[in-house]
Structure 1
Amino acid sequence: MATEQSLILDFTIVLGAAAAGGYLANRLRQPVLLGYLASGLIVGPFGFKLLSDVSQIKSLAEIGVAFLLFALGVEFSLAELKRVKDIALQGSLLQIGLTTALVAFVTIILGWASGLSQGIFLGVVLSLSSTAMVLKTLTERGEINTLHGQIMLAILIAQDLALGVILAILPALQQPENIALALGIAIFKILVFVAVAIALSKWIVPRLISSFAATESNELFLLAVIALCLGVALTTASLGLSIAMGAFVAGLMISEIDYADQTLAKVLPLRDTFASLFFASIGMLIDPVLLIHNLGLIIGLVLLVMVGKALIVLPIVLRFGYSLKTAVVVSFGINQIGEFSFVLALEGWRLELISQQTYLLLLATTAITLVLTPMWLDSAPHLADSFNHIPGLTNFLRRFSAPKTIFMPERMSNHVVVAGYGRVGQVIVKILQSQGYPVLVIENSEAAAQRLRLHQIPYIFGDADSELVLEKAHLQTAKALAIALPDPASTRLLLKRALSIAPQLDVIVRSHIDSEIDFLTQMGAREVVQPEFEAALELGNHLLKTLGAEESHIRSVINAIRTDKYISIRPE
């Protein structure tokens, strides 16, 4: 009984400390996993030694790894990958391969790696980026649907998919002298396992899950999902592969069936709980004295990773025909080390591919790169613009900023320029064309450019905020400019540059957040539209009609709200 109470006490201490650490990190606008790591350090053997049995907590943390990878498998979407599939697949393979090669070369030359196997392992660990951190940062900045946001997420999804394969072939690195044979055996095991998994996911798993769902019992459904996740994970462990890979494949089995969303909704609370336990258990391994003594080495590793990965990603994105600005933002967005590198590093330590000291150095390096990611993303657009003003580089870089394709008459006048051909831009173009007004679209997505060509709509393919692109848009003779870009930073830069070319131009801008309305107006926008407020006005319009208000009164109320830039309806 005392042992059971001891485990409950340890479990409570870790979860309580993780909650406090995560809350503090959130208040400081840092990733919550850094709070989990810190909480583990504080309560662990190198901190206040509050736990009586750390090994039991680490055993429970294994479930966190399984649920983490299982949820990733359920969330994985082939549809998302198809949108930018070329750079997602080819680009991510290039990035992982080149990063692994560079890190292996540098670490072996400098003596940080004891051999080729360890060098390759370190390269693979450092090649992965943080899907959670990048997704959170893009969401906060309103840049999920931007071109650079889509490219980043596509590469990250491909990296996450590669993680399953990496975990499977990791044991082969234990036998560097027979690595070809070991890899062959590992790949054979993977193929057999995947074949069985595909068969199960096609004929058995959907029927099994639907049977439990038909009971309309939440607890039975959840028990079935947990049993599937842990059962497949233990199967891969018995084959000499990793628990993490099995959990990921179990998630993939469910990802394409009708109950995927319901499964994810049930598993997420468990995932978040046990994942916090996993990251806290990693924090328990951190020896602060060791980190302080190696602070210079850690800073060097951070610079090597973040600068090195950015220099690798930059030419890869340019190679696929994207602009310099897009390439810089993407390279600065995914140059950190990801949360799944913790899983890999822990697995490598268990397999004795790295020492405990190297493992701790990797943890510290990963944590610092995650903290720096938002700052690097903030500086990326400004750095891309400054490149164009560096003597000697200007002529070389102009070809990356210049429009890639121009599908329009040589001369245009009295036209409306529409920047962005997403959902909002497409509606604007349809309205203008239905009334017979000439339109010119500026767009940097190849998929959108194909639709424009198909419908014979004049367009310029390039970044709308590029000076070279705007020079081709005949803004001096245009009637108006409608800015419907998903990126707030590009919106502001485009507005500034457009008005510098044509100061009297009538510019209407889509605002992303409330605080931008006044700022864009002060910059010179003739009209600033906030989509959520406009939707609310239309709903209010309909309700007032239903309640019997006069049409003229309704128009005066709505016009007054629009005239004062939504001030009367903005949240306090």
Structure 2
Amino acid sequence: MPHTPLIATLVAGLGLAFIFGTVANRLHLSPLVGYLLAGVLIGPFTPGFVADQSLARQLAELGVILLMFGIGLHFSIHDLLSVRTIALPGALGQMALVTTLGFIVAQAIGWPIAAGVVFGLALSVASTVVVLRALQEKRQLETDGGRIAVGWLVVEDVAMILALVLLPAFAGSFGGSTTRPSSGDGGLFTFLEPQTVSGALALALTKLTAFFAAMAIFGRRVIPWVLHYVAHTGSRELFRLAVLAIALGVAFGAAELFGVSFALGAFFAGMILAESQLSQRAAQETLPLRDAFAVLFFVSVGMLFNPMILVEQPLLVGATFLIIVIGNATAASAIAIMFGYSLPVALTLGLSLAQIGEFSFILAALGVELKLLPEAGRDLVLAGAILSILINPLLFAGFGRLMPWLKQREPVGAIQEDRKTDTPELTGTRLTHHAVLVGYGRVGSLVAETLQKARLPYLIIEERQAVADQLRALGAEVIIGNAAQPGLLEAANVGAAKWLISAIPSPFESGNLIERARTVNPTLEIIARAHSDAEVDYLTRLGANLIIMGEREIARSISEHILSRIDVSAAPNPNEGQTGRISE
């Protein structure tokens, strides 16, 4: 049998992630816990099969790229600029506070000054993947806390890019290696190879400026044009390929040419494409691959973890864990409150940032390579990352239960998330005997047009802020949010509605919506869309009255058109005498 490490890594990683993710979900835990455990089992520190770590990390990078690209598709430049007043000073302030805590611990155990700085800095940077997955699972990406968290992460990513460029220049001054690792991070600017701190800082700022300029000038013109051109070919296969090529190509080009991280490059590519009308379709095409490869990120993190460090250095692991979770959460929450935000918004932000991930691993590895950080420091960073990622879903679950209690005790002067995002509690409709349309994409927009022409009362549930703003400008009643968000169906007054129309393409989200709506209003007429017979059966079991499948409606329209042009009774039947079944 040929040696196939790539296939073996994929099969073992995805297979065990599925098994343990299912078990975790069954135990009412986040599937992330199962993915991490799967990584530990196929890592080098446990007996049995050992997957290829290098391949796992590269596969995980694909997941990071696709995830960040997908987030960018739902996060406009306006959203990013709207949180700049808190994200920029807040992220830098939080990183400074947590870096100081890590430095104090490092000094207490006798590490050099440089080791303390690198160690503390590695503990101050949240994992982009973990934050976004947690916010998506809790339907909080479109809230104030979610938008601030994304902007905060962008600032942290930029700060870490500067740190990774400056660290080699500082190494010689602090007794580390004076030889810069040849990682190829410089891209077009490698020939400069600065050896001074000022030179390194100037190079880093030049690269970032060049990247932003390229995305603003070249990206905003070329990327949407390419997708629109491919869309007009009518080939779904080519469109899907174009989306993947753009996401991966921009991320790789950003890293190779400008020294920017894969994640940041992909995020800006998605954010630029979000201005296009094809953004929703692009998000749908990347969703399956994005989820599969994002799982591999958590598996690869689990593979790095050596469980023995919990036995050998329990006190240091505990101190590292507390700095990551308590230090980051407290610092971020306190800064948000200082800026006047309400306690729920501040805690959402704090809990989002109460873990570390990919950039922390990169910084710790570079510190060890430059002989600034002892290997024990890298092991502590990895242990803290694993434990913080494991505990993060539990913190969010506890926070969800405390949310109603916290909202009742908010100070009057705080910036309320509800006021800023028009959440259901403050925008409940007064409509009755109306239609609730969920999703305003290609299908939903046509349905809304029909309802408008028929003068039927209706409202739209849409999670994209830009689309919702456009609809409101046209006079439509819109509730911003995801239909699975608690309280949203109540705000739409589903209990007094006549129709519920689910125009969203995901059968799982649609099924959840239908099940909840049927509980609220047993007499509600529910109409949904599906892509296969299995989805039709699934949605029917959950309570849908009418399910439209694209292929069936196309066949029915063609058949009706043909029959309307001929006299069926007089037409000969060439298939008379043949047996067979024509499915509807």
Same-fold status (TM-score > 0.5): yes
Say whether the 8 Å CA contact 2:169–2:200 is kept in structure 1: yes
Bigger relative contact order, structure 1 or 2, given CA contacts below 8 A and separation 6+?
A: 2
Q: Is the 8 A contact 1:291 1:361 kept in 2?
A: no
Say which is worse superposed, 237-246 or 287-296, in terms of deviation: 237-246
Q: 1:429 to 1:250 in 2, by over 3 A?
A: closer
Alignment of 1:470-509 (within 5 A): none
**In structure 2, what is the equivalent of residue 47 of structure 1?**
46
C-alpha distance in 2 between matches for 1:424 and 1:61: 39
Matched, 1:208 2:244: no
How far apart are the structure 2 equivalents of 1:67 and 1:303?
Answer: 31
| Correspondence 1:123 to 2:121 | yes
Q: Which residue of 2 aligns with 1:132?
A: 132
Q: 1:69 to 1:568 in 2, by over 3 A?
A: closer
Task: Give CA-to-partner distance per residue, 1:207-242, whole Å, 9 cap, x none.
Answer: 112111222222212222222233333333334614
Q: What is the SS of the residue equivalent to 1:10?
A: helix
CA distance in 1, matches of 2:255, 2:349: 36
Contact 1:103 / 1:122 at 8 angstroms: preserved in 2?
yes
More helix by proportion, 1 or 2? 1
Matched, 1:296 2:290: no
CA distances 1:31-63 after superposition (whole Å, capped 9, x unpaired): 323322211221232223424644334433333
Match of residue 495, structure 2, among 495, 513, 534: 534
Secondary structure in structure 1 of the residue aligned to 2:46 = coil
* Residue aligning to 1:152: 145
CA distance in 2, matches of 1:193, 1:334: 27
CA distance in 2, matches of 1:240, 1:565: 53
Within 1, Cα distance between the matches of 2:403 and 2:295? 37
Query: In the alignment, what sits opposite 2:21?
Result: 22
**Inter-partner Cα distance in structure 2 for 1:162 and 1:152:** 15
Q: Report the AA paired with residue 342 of structure 1.
A: E
Q: Against the structure 1 CA distance between its residues 363 and 21, is the aligned structure 2 distance closer, same or farther, given a 3 Å change threshold?
A: farther
Which residue number in structure 2 is paired with residue 246 of structure 1?
265
Unaligned stretches of 5+ residues in structure 1? 388-399, 406-419, 432-485, 487-510, 515-528, 541-563
Letter in 2 for 1:78: I
Cα pair 2:332 2:349 within 8 Å, conserved: yes
Letter in 1 for 2:365: W
Question: Matches of 2:34 and 2:122 in 1, distance apart?
Answer: 25
1:365 aligns with 2:376: no
Rounded Cα–Cα distance in structure 2 between residues aligned with 1:298 and 1:39? 21
The answer on whether the counterparts of 1:328 and 1:380 sit within 8 Å (CA) in structure 2 is no
Q: How do 1:137-286 and structure 2 match up within 5 A?
A: 138-139=138-139, 150-169=143-162, 170-176=164-170, 177=173, 178-239=196-257, 241-244=259-262, 245-286=264-305
Alpha-carbon displacement from aligned partner over 1:281-336 (angstroms, at most 9, x marks no partner)? 2222222223332232222222223332343234323322345x447744753451
Distance 1:422 1:279 in 2: 32
Whole-Å separation in 1 of the counterparts to 2:236 and 2:405: 56
Give, in whole Å, the separation in 2 of the partners of 1:262 and 1:530.
Answer: 28
2: CA distance, partners of 1:295 / 1:60: 32
Q: How far apart are residue 121 of structure 1 and its match?
A: 6.1
Question: Distance between the aligned counterparts of 2:169 and 2:59, measured in 1?
Answer: 30
**Distance in 1 of aligned mates of 2:109 and 2:383:** 19
1:346 aligned partner, one-letter code:
I
Amino acid at match of 1:173: L
CA contact (8 A) 1:313 1:330 kept: no
Q: Which runs of 5+ in 2 are unaligned?
A: 174-195, 415-420, 433-480, 501-518, 525-541, 544-584
Shift, 1:82, TM fit? 5.8
C-alpha distance in 2 between matches for 1:565 and 1:72: 32
Equivalent pair of 2:103/2:120 in contact (CA under 8 Å): no
Describe how 1:90-105 pairs up with structure 2 within 5 A.
90-100=89-99, 102-105=100-103
Is the contact between residue 88 and residue 151 of structure 1 (CA under 8 Å) also seen in structure 2? no
Change (3 A) 1:33 1:430: closer
* Paired residues of 1:310 and 1:332 also in contact (CA < 8 A): yes
CA offsets 1:346-402 (integer angstroms, 9 cap, x no match): 354156365554334223323333443455456669999999xxxxxxxxxxxx966
Residue 201 of structure 1: how far off its partner (Å): 1.5
> In 2, Cα distance between the equivalents of 1:153 and 1:427?
22
TM-score (norm 2): 0.61
Contact 2:63 2:290 in 1 (8 A): yes
Give the residue type in structure 2 aligned to 1:204: V
Seen in structure 2, the aligned counterparts of structure 1 residues 122 and 25 have a Cα distance that, compared at 3 Å, is farther
**Per the alignment, in what secondary structure is the counterpart of residue 2 of structure 1?**
coil
Output aligned runs, 1:55-134, within 5 Å. 55-81=54-80, 86-100=85-99, 102-111=100-109, 114-116=112-114, 119-120=117-118, 122-123=120-121, 125-128=123-126, 130-132=130-132, 134=134
Aligned equivalent of 2:563: none
CA RMSD after TM alignment: 4.4
Query: What SS class does the counterpart of residue 257 from structure 1 fall into?
Result: coil
Q: 1:317 aligns with which of 320, 336, 339?
A: 336
**2:124 counterpart SS class:** helix
Counterparts of 1:326 and 1:175 in 2: how far apart (Å)? 41
Q: Quick one: distance in 2 between partners of 1:242 and 1:426? A: 41
> Secondary structure of the equivalent of 1:15?
helix
Query: Displacement, 1:189?
Result: 1.3
CA distance in 2, matches of 1:386, 1:60: 42
Contact 1:96 1:128 in 2 (8 A): no
Does structure 2 conserve the Cα–Cα contact (< 8 Å) formed by 1:68 and 1:271?
yes
Cα displacement (A) at 1:156: 0.8
Flag the 1:242–1:314 CA change in 2: closer, same or farther, 3 A.
closer
Partner of 2:362: 346
Match of 2:35 in 1: 36
Q: Secondary structure at the match of 1:281?
A: helix
**Preserved contact between residue 73 and residue 270 of structure 2 (Cα < 8 Å):** yes
Specify whether residues 288 and 531 from structure 1 end up closer, same or farther in structure 2 by C-alpha distance, changes over 3 A only: same
Cα distance in 2 for partners of 1:38, 1:27 equals 15
Q: Which residue number in structure 2 is paired with residue 466 of structure 1? A: none
Q: 2:155 corresponds to which letter in structure 1?
A: A
Distance across 2 between alignment mates of 1:54 and 1:284:
7
Matched residues in 2 for 1:98 and 1:202: separation?
A: 37
Q: Read off the aligned partner of 2:117 and give its amino acid letter.
A: G
Q: How far apart, CA to CA, are the structure 1 residues paired with 2:378 and 2:337?
A: 34
Distance 1:108 1:16, change over 3 A: same
Contact 2:106/2:119, CA 8 A, preserved across alignment? no
Instruction: Please say if residues 119 and 377 of structure 2, whose CA atoms lie closer than 8 Å, have aligned partners that are also in contact.
Output: no
Tell me the CA shift for residue 196 of structure 1.
1.8
Aligned length: 424
